[in-house]
Structure 1
Amino acid sequence: MRIARWLHDGCVQEGLVHDGRVLPFPGATSVQSVLESGLDAALELGGRLIDASSGSEPALEAVRLLAPLRPTTIRDFVAFEEHVEGVAVSVDGKGGVPEEWYRYPTFYFTNPHSVLGPADTVTPPETQALDFELEVAAVIGRPPRHGGNLTAAEGAAAIFGYTIMNDWSARDVQAREMKVRLGPAKGKDFGTTLGPWIVTADEVADLVDEEGFLALAVEALINGERVGHDLLSNMGWPFGELVAYASRNTRVAPGDVLGSGTAGNGGCLGELWGRNGSRTPSPLTTGDVVTLVVERLGELTGTVGAPVVVPEIPSARPRARQRAR
């Protein structure tokens, strides 16, 4: 089942995509309320909507798809060893994978206020190193035990479905701020594209192996030319373990989005820059179109807009370090 949000005749609607048409949820039902109800209840609702469909609902081509949910939080992991190997050189000038990467699945929180939908234009900051990131994101539904301190099996059970994620990145901004041992922040939070819809977990269950790894084929294209491809099962941890780690000493909740991190083998330009020793291929520029394709999940396209010029903030001023007035 595919769950989506869209704009039609000036109104935002939420519901299913089925057989090339969009089927709105009834009444006040929303994507968020469906996530809160859990996967089984959602599949039952979807079955009723499909059975009641008249075939006269708007065609998918007649609506503008939006991001498929309004995330409550976005955690973005870095779960692909190959990506870490390559991108480390282009970001901080150092190669190799830190020993600490292997112990736990590291993530950072990114900005839910900058979420974009399919075919939206991203407006980056002033940067000389604009990049995309090819990811798959798990969307949390109704988690067991209120979502706190989950086991890996419970983490997997909390996953309602999956969507494609493009974590747009300004690598030069990212490199600068991470020298302060924080971030990434401003190198990332200007845009995260999600879509085109949420595919429920049952649709890909046959591709999950006995350890929980999901073997979806993924690829990235810039202006129609493929620059990377990988299998999602090359993650260092399966999604259930990512969810479990995210829930430690806190909780995951319906509407949380957990990105896989960037796929290897050209899942972003930064990895290729590190391996090539130069910014080859060239950084993204205004007008470039990035298309991410994931088996069974669909295709997600985003266009690069003109950079945004923002008010300047002065550098830190030396202070006397007085301890009293």
Structure 2
Amino acid sequence: MKELQFRRHRRLRQTANLRAMVRETHLHVEDLIYPIFVVEGEQVKQEVASMPGVYQLSLDYLNDEIAEAVELGIKSVIVFGVPKEKDEVGSQAYCEHGIVQQAIRQMKANYPELVVIADTCLCEYTSHGHCGVVENEQVLNDPSLELLVKTAVSQAKAGADIIAPSNMMDGFVAAIRQGLDEAGFAHVPIMSYAIKYASAFYGPFRDAANSAPQFGDRKTYQMDPANRLEAFREAESDVREGADFLMVKPALAYLDIIRDMKNHFHLPLVAYNVSGEYSMIKAAAQNGWIDEKAIVLEMLTGMKRAGADLILTYFAKDVARWLKEK
């Protein structure tokens, strides 16, 4: 019988050390951005019902949370605020003593080397739950930009290292860049939520941030999940307007978009492993249907392989522990 001619790919898979030697994609603790929800009041540590292990924290609990993250080697956090009072124009978003501004000052005072990212949006602060100024149930673009600039500047004044606008208003990067520069914060980078889809994966976040829209939806300003080429247009605009990072949100159902952005642009790329992705895995793990650790590490490695340089994930502390074990 004639000898078969074929390649033996399995030769490089024989042992754990051999597989590690040729591994192409690596997940590091430095890749992780840890989201934190801060609320007003005292002695508040409220678990989000739809996000097991994720808490709304008052400032008196914040130091312990940050200390744990830093001890695990996490280098960066992003802070979301949940105010007691909301109004039509989201004034607590840009208040000097707003909950996010207070949290930023506290974190930077105690952990000056920690990279603190401020989510810059209005939806958590508006009574209607939309990301801008509303008139006759329409979200107005240009008046919203003025409030977003005020928010970004107030966050930079509080000590934020990075401003991360997530509102999806047209021109938001240009407006915020100009506002930061004029206020003396030309050194503060912008991490743009450049490609943010109108996704069904955001539901649990709206529980955590108390930010569900009170009417309609966000499809007039967030992107249609069916669109790919639109992502290029959005990212190109933000790059021209001065973005320093680009973000794709969500991540798991949009790995093709992450790869597109990585291939086409040369800014650091962030994947947002969103709340719905987190909650699905948590629910399945709690039912004993999956191996949570194995699934999470495989999923985040897939995001890195797709092209993400950084991953914003609610699993950050768990992943940091698992990587230490390895």
TM-score by shorter chain over 0.5: no
- Greater per-residue helix proportion: 2
- Greater per-residue strand proportion: 1
Structure 2 length normalisation: TM-score?
A: 0.25
Q: Which has the higher contact order (CA 8 A, sep 6+)?
A: 1
